[in-house]
Structure 1
Amino acid sequence: MKPADGCLRRRVVGLLTQKGFEASLCTSRWKNTRNHPGGKHEYVEMIASTMGRKKPIPYLIELEFRDQFEIAKACDEYRNLVARLPEYYVGKADYLNAIVGILCDAAKRSMKEKKIHMGPWRKRSFMQMKWSNCSERRSVDKSSCKSFPSSRQAHESCLHLSAAPALTVT
């Protein structure tokens, strides 16, 4: 995680809550096991209420989606697949898990082709833990990020974010 990314996630949560959405910063944590190294991952979760449904729908927002799949010595097929990914992901967890599965299988083939060992942090089960094990949800207020923008700047930041390619799955 880059130092400014936590602040960016807090800004996104702040912007969503200002617009009336129920949004929180989620941190998933998992322990070190024989098969996977321990770790933690932050992402944004937004709850959408719909008129026709009784149960609200959670949406995940991953601001570093494409970055999660970068591999230094990937084969051309995998590199092209990752290049087609959006920079941001906005959608349901089920769809994200399906996309992660496809990409992890492609990464496995790429590493096999290049005769490179596939680290446990590249495997499907590890990657899916990042978004499926939220152990902490936090609301965000303006004071939680020193550089939280004014409302005019927040609107400009939102426009900047929406100008980048994103994958929205409903």
Structure 2
Amino acid sequence: MDSLEENVFMFMDEQYYYSNESNVEELWWENNTDSEHSPDTTLYWESQVTLLQEILERYHLNGSKLRLDVGRIIKEVKDSDYCSCLNPFSSDCTTCLRRQVVSGLSDRGFSTNLCISKWGTTKKFPGGCHEYIEVIASTSTRKKKIHFLVELELREQFQIAKASENYQKLVSCLPEFYIGKPEYLTAIVRVMCNAAKKSMKEKKMHVGPWRKSSFMQMKWSGFNQTYNNGGHFAKASESYLRISGAHTPVIVT
């Protein structure tokens, strides 16, 4: 039987999944951006909602117990006074949040890393870096370690100014945070970046390079060691805060 990851990519292929540089995709948008409420535009957004929901359904089937446990810890931290830097200009310090979540996961027996992906400036993309969390667990039937990526700001990654109503609806379908294998996140990024481009073209707004799928995926490039960006490679993710659980290793069922 095909793995869930293979099924995700098979599903995307069946849905005529074009890359963000595809000429076919460019022609589609040029011919179908005259109105937010035209029949072709309505059909496009309906198909994107269906595609995203299918990906999320497959995502929720994989590692559901771990996701529930990690999700509970994240909510407990968010409900507490977690900011230790006392930044007066931030009412929601995500830097402190990530560190407290890593600490909370460790206290519950998870082997956890706080990671950062870094990439340099190129002619196509600005340089940058991004933090995320890695959780390492074992399966109940084998000794193989399973690596899960935890992104605490999933919805925020896809927020855009003056977004169309259809795009906002698509964003609202996303879970608040992501806990799972990187394959599903890659699929989500492709859907959302294509949809963001469509929304911005409808609003006659400039589409910045940081909205492209290839740029967004560099934020979690460490899970693929390096990310090939037209001959330029993002620096592999660094685990600069490694915390192993002091209790019995967590088992994924």
- Fold shared, TM-score > 0.5 on shorter chain: yes
Same amino acid, percent of matched pairs: 57
Greater than 4 Å deviation, 4+ residue runs: none
Which letter maps to 2:240?
Answer: R
2:153 and 2:211 map into 1 onto residues whose CA distance is 16
Q: Which moved more, 1:28-37 or 1:130-139?
A: 130-139
> Does the Cα contact within 8 Å between 1:44 and 1:61 map onto a contact in 2?
yes
2:142 alignment partner, one of 53, 63, 77: 53
1:139 alignment partner, one of 225, 241, 245: 241
- Structure 1 residue 35 displacement after superposition: 0.8
Structure 1 regions of 5+ residues with no counterpart? 142-169
Instruction: Tell me which protein shows more strand as a share of its residues.
Output: 1
Structure 2 regions of 5+ residues with no counterpart? 1-89, 223-235, 244-252
1:13 is aligned to: 102
State yes or no: 1:83 paired with 2:172: yes
| RMSD, aligned α-carbons | 2.0
2:154 is aligned to: 65
Greater Rg by CA: 2
State yes or no: 1:44 paired with 2:133: yes
> Does the Cα contact within 8 Å between 1:43 and 1:60 map onto a contact in 2?
yes
- Structure 1 residue 6 displacement after superposition: 1.0
Question: What TM-score does the superposition give when structure 2 sets the normalisation length?
Answer: 0.53
Q: Which has the higher contact order (CA 8 A, sep 6+)?
A: 1
The secondary structure found in structure 1 opposite 2:95 is helix
2:93 is aligned to: 4
2:188 and 2:221 map into 1 onto residues whose CA distance is 14
The secondary structure found in structure 2 opposite 1:100 is helix
1:111 alignment partner, one of 200, 209, 216: 200
> Does the Cα contact within 8 Å between 2:114 and 2:240 map onto a contact in 1?
yes
